[in-house]
Structure 1
């Protein structure tokens, strides 16, 4: 309310002031009553929280989650961790750090194993460290009394893992840093089927050397193309330990398991407090936030078999995003599926560990050491760990075979495991006869006994954690924006020396079980899964999944010619590309010339999407040429896509000269052979030297005119 005195200060005319005064001055009982009410309400409002409506000091208890007390996951992360690795080493009393850069989890697993073994066998204070958790520049502050070990993977076209990107950018772009105090050694994981084999570790070592870091031993490398990654790592590790003994003067001690974390039962917790198997989206959030969507439970609304073969399966699945408006995809992206371990493996392992009757008892996972990072959801339960969080179907490596001997229930089992873990040739021969999962190993080593001495903490520390499997999306976001599809071949591999024993790929057989259930049929090999998921979150044919952005994209201009080469399920993204080009042409826009090279065994069994491709051919007319290669068809000579690329070399070169974008999807070995075929044709057609071809290859890749989406 404005007083008359305040009105007189507004430079109003006398006439207006006189009129306003009539309304500004109370004239009756009603006006005074209104003023009293307004004054009372104002006073009451101003006294809120002091005279009335005082806050309840226990109000927060309504929202407090008991699992965050006494070591719960959020409680562990409540204090912000330092991003200075030198300070972290100093604060935790560590003198060795094993950095890891990992895309699929292998390098991470190696780093954790190495850090654990250094601590146990050599009595050294050691920690493993995610490269993305620390500011790269702080590596320069590590004193020469400490040691840094780098274990990093290379994937794709010489790309670093997501969690290596920040360090990679720093080591390749910084120019004003000294690493003269840094002692280091490094090990790289790669695949010689890729052109840029182990490029990441090579570049990192080059950068470290340039800034003055001192290598304790030669660089080590693993080659997955030869299936030797595990043995390559162990050979390098043995060389490292020789350096520990001979150069650093470390003393080896008797190796006994010393846990870096505790897994303790707590029956006071209720089921609502637990993580029952939902994927832990927080662990990798900082690394892949820009590349990946949130993890959600998504419905599979349509699944069908693409093969006509009775002994092989290939699935087409449509996934529904309708109830997840924040999830979107673009043509060429990937869909990540989070798998579940099969029931038989889970139940057998629970029995062998003596945990069957306590499978649902709540457990907390807590670090023993401040440097240990908990990467699994906690609190949880034994059944959730074995079903959803740990790779219990992965082969047991020799290190773990040897370590398991200390928990053996009989002297005979201890002797057997020690021999198997120490004898490289015996181990290699053994795994050719059986798929050496943990439960099978325990059964073979000591039939009829339970292994109650194995701590659950040991399994959490040593078994790989379940990771998502990535599938190229085989639909166009223009044609089917809310229902991306994937194309998944089901992996069922007979053992070389025992063909009757089948090794079932975890994720593809999980998807097959979902598909079979939708058609009211059992899995063809009797493999079963807990398809309803944790807390029935996946009931009705759902999967936990997320979308990962990809660089494997169509050109912006639809007029750009395309050359596409795919074998098997490598056809998936090209189905999406062609579907989108068909749609563009239907709305009256011009599309460029296209040629698709596709390879499979024979046209009668595994020529996937054949009818659809023929329809697209009719729609696009002479804008599309389909060229097939069959490797096992009747009595005809074997042909592979690279052979057909060479056969149509002149047309390929012509499209390249017209500005075509070149795409390859499939196995890395195939991609390498296709590139050789194109390079050979370019040399022959243009009369180029090998150097000229190499320069051309580098140029087109730099311009994203040559793209690959390859694996293995």
Structure 2
């Protein structure tokens, strides 16, 4: 008998008779058992429908009322529209300031500008993350309103992550009318990069092509000489002149009008608070997708790479073992979330006169529906100053002037007003004094607390803490669970006061951790609460996350590589070479490689020298190491671009063989490297400048030229 013949529709009659003989109830016991079985089954099937229905309000018993209004839960509870015109109408806004930011500067400027427009001109103004709204809806903004763009350019003319959707729309859209749109625009860039402020140029070109009307010439801030702040303020002054003379806005006396309110709530317990843990859920989904969640990672080992006694460069190995969901790929970045140094935290608490109630629970709420809260709440003042605000950042001139209204004495008010209004006086002052908020307040009024300075003002105006990104210097093939970073410790004297040093927050935070592991103090006596909020970082841990990068090795190991790095720009190439060594060890062919590395001196800061020599012995003739030392005694200064010029023919040959070119380090170095390579191609090929430029665009489009640069 086949299986098909035993299906429910083909059971033989004699078999059915046999089954029914034993399956038919014959007594009270059988009927009782059958009733129980049927009842039990019906009860199970009806659970949640007829009985034991979940209480739809059960969760309210566990909600904290204080989180509903203004807290992160409340801020994200109602999904906002992605139509910017509709949002402006709903919130009664006349002006929108769009921002596109990679490091946070453009975002900070956008919030400053919106706040000042409201305070000085009485115009209802909102800020808008470009990734939060549908780009096409800008066409619905009526001509009675005004749009402003503040957008940064980074890398090789690239838009920031949160600008990507708008960038794709403005560069590809056709036939869309923006004739009703009135706008102004400011770009943030660095002339050390080849494509200086390209993003704002492309955006303005797209707006004008669609008929939008610019109310003033495009503004451009240049960070090459650290002038971004003053360039922004000069552009803002021109914008306000436009408001006064062309738009007829009436300027009013500038007084602080909070967009946030901060309330104490002593009913909250410590377990209810955010004590300094980073908030990794404020980015738009597409941006957040580029990074892992923030986790606590152990530093398994650290060592000093410099031999100079007055400078430090750290190699740190981190451990992903406790975070199995975290992975990285060779070329990715690792972000470190720092804490502020003890001295600056204590100074600020002292000058504000809030040293004692530092741990009282506070809740941050929005006064304006268009204001987003990006600091975790509820929290405490102590956590704010230690982990959530950049209290070590220099105070900009706008804020110096604004702080005068809260001054405890007339003299302090007059001094701050003068310092904030006069560009030259301010520049001279900050060249001699590291102007953090705590130091400024103490200098302005040494003997009195700034008790009238609202905490909400500081949360609104001070930069919020952001992570610092480091190129991962290990290979995910060789060391999949232990990524490493290479961090030079930033400590620099002031231009006009060599005795006063400015210490980079994150690099010195890492140095303090490294020194603690060896039971040694920080070289400059800087201390941090290294155990972190709620002792979460005890035992040598950091808050960190991994960010994906496009700075990747070619798919095939046969592809030749030209790598150029200066200082800690060597970090990703250590990873590349480590991976190529491993590939060769398992019998696969690897392509020809040249590594150009530059530093000051051979004996003091040639990082990873022994490792590079070992890799060279493994790879043999496949790897050529070319060095350049800029401060070697008895020899002329040489930089990596000089060595590239010397070996131009070899580089052209590898490029012709399909080689990929990589540059990592400062933007100024990358620009000079590009000039040297372009000159070599021009000489070898007999090309014109236009032909070199066309080749440049082609290799970058094919990802055959990649850069990981900064500053």
With normalisation by structure 1, the TM-score equals 0.97
Q: Within 2, Cα distance between the matches of 1:143 and 1:39?
A: 67
Q: Give how far 1:50 is off.
A: 8.9
2:219 is matched with: 220
Q: Within 2, Cα distance between the matches of 1:604 and 1:265?
A: 56
1:496 is matched with: 495
The answer to whether 1:345 aligns with 2:344 is yes
Tell me: CA distance 1:20–1:338, structure 2 relative to 1, closer, same or farther (3 Å).
Answer: same
1:638 is matched with: 637
CA contact (8 A) 2:317 2:484 kept: yes
Q: Within 2, Cα distance between the matches of 1:48 and 1:94?
A: 51
Q: Give how far 1:68 is off.
A: 2.2
Tell me: CA distance 1:695–1:36, structure 2 relative to 1, closer, same or farther (3 Å).
Answer: closer
User: What SS is found at the alignment partner of 1:673?
Assistant: helix
1:140 is matched with: 139
Q: Within 2, Cα distance between the matches of 1:13 and 1:335?
A: 70
**What do the CA deviations read for 1:63-120 (whole angstroms, capped 9, x no partner)?**
4345424442212321111111111111111100111000001000100000000000
> Which has the larger displacement, 582-591 or 47-56?
47-56
Q: Within 2, Cα distance between the matches of 1:554 and 1:43?
A: 62
Q: Give how far 1:335 is off.
A: 0.4
Q: Within 1, Cα distance between the matches of 2:683 and 2:54?
A: 84
TM alignment of 1:158-557, pairs within 5 A: 158-557=157-556
Q: Within 1, Cα distance between the matches of 2:616 and 2:481?
A: 25
User: What SS is found at the alignment partner of 1:121?
Assistant: helix
Q: Give how far 1:10 is off.
A: 5.8
CA contact (8 A) 1:67 1:269 kept: no
1:574 is matched with: 573
Q: Give how far 1:61 is off.
A: 5.0
Q: Give how far 1:331 is off.
A: 0.6
**What do the CA deviations read for 1:148-196 (whole angstroms, capped 9, x no partner)?**
0000000001111111111111101111311000000000000000001
Q: Give how far 1:446 is off.
A: 0.8
1:3 is matched with: none
2:599 is matched with: 600
Tell me: CA distance 1:410–1:184, structure 2 relative to 1, closer, same or farther (3 Å).
Answer: same
Tell me: CA distance 1:657–1:43, structure 2 relative to 1, closer, same or farther (3 Å).
Answer: closer
Q: Within 2, Cα distance between the matches of 1:366 and 1:528?
A: 32
TM alignment of 1:624-635, pairs within 5 A: 624-635=623-634
Q: Within 2, Cα distance between the matches of 1:49 and 1:599?
A: 70
User: What SS is found at the alignment partner of 1:604?
Assistant: helix
Q: Give how far 1:272 is off.
A: 1.1
Q: Within 2, Cα distance between the matches of 1:164 and 1:50?
A: 48
Q: Give how far 1:602 is off.
A: 0.6
Q: Give how far 1:684 is off.
A: 1.8
Q: Give how far 1:248 is off.
A: 0.2
Unaligned runs of 5+ in 2: 1-7
Q: Give how far 1:14 is off.
A: 4.2
Tell me: CA distance 1:59–1:181, structure 2 relative to 1, closer, same or farther (3 Å).
Answer: closer
Q: Within 1, Cα distance between the matches of 2:23 and 2:224?
A: 91
2:153 is matched with: 154
CA contact (8 A) 2:263 2:364 kept: yes
User: What SS is found at the alignment partner of 2:152?
Assistant: strand
CA contact (8 A) 1:566 1:597 kept: yes
Tell me: CA distance 1:671–1:448, structure 2 relative to 1, closer, same or farther (3 Å).
Answer: same
Q: Give how far 1:274 is off.
A: 0.9
1:83 is matched with: 82
Unaligned runs of 5+ in 1: 1-8
2:666 is matched with: 667
Q: Give how far 1:651 is off.
A: 1.0
**What do the CA deviations read for 1:296-323 (whole angstroms, capped 9, x no partner)?**
1101101000000000000000010111
Q: Give how far 1:21 is off.
A: 2.3
CA contact (8 A) 1:67 1:274 kept: no
**What do the CA deviations read for 1:301-359 (whole angstroms, capped 9, x no partner)?**
01000000000000000010111111111111100111111110001101111111111
Q: Within 2, Cα distance between the matches of 1:441 and 1:135?
A: 42
Q: CA RMSD in A?
A: 1.6
Q: Give how far 1:686 is off.
A: 2.1
User: What SS is found at the alignment partner of 1:152?
Assistant: strand
Tell me: CA distance 1:273–1:653, structure 2 relative to 1, closer, same or farther (3 Å).
Answer: same
2:4 is matched with: none
Q: Within 2, Cα distance between the matches of 1:471 and 1:203?
A: 29
> Which has the larger displacement, 657-666 or 36-45?
36-45
**What do the CA deviations read for 1:377-417 (whole angstroms, capped 9, x no partner)?**
11111011111110110010010000000000000000000
CA contact (8 A) 1:66 1:269 kept: no
Q: Give how far 1:653 is off.
A: 1.2
CA contact (8 A) 2:70 2:373 kept: no
The answer to whether 1:126 aligns with 2:122 is no
CA contact (8 A) 2:565 2:665 kept: yes
User: What SS is found at the alignment partner of 2:106?
Assistant: helix
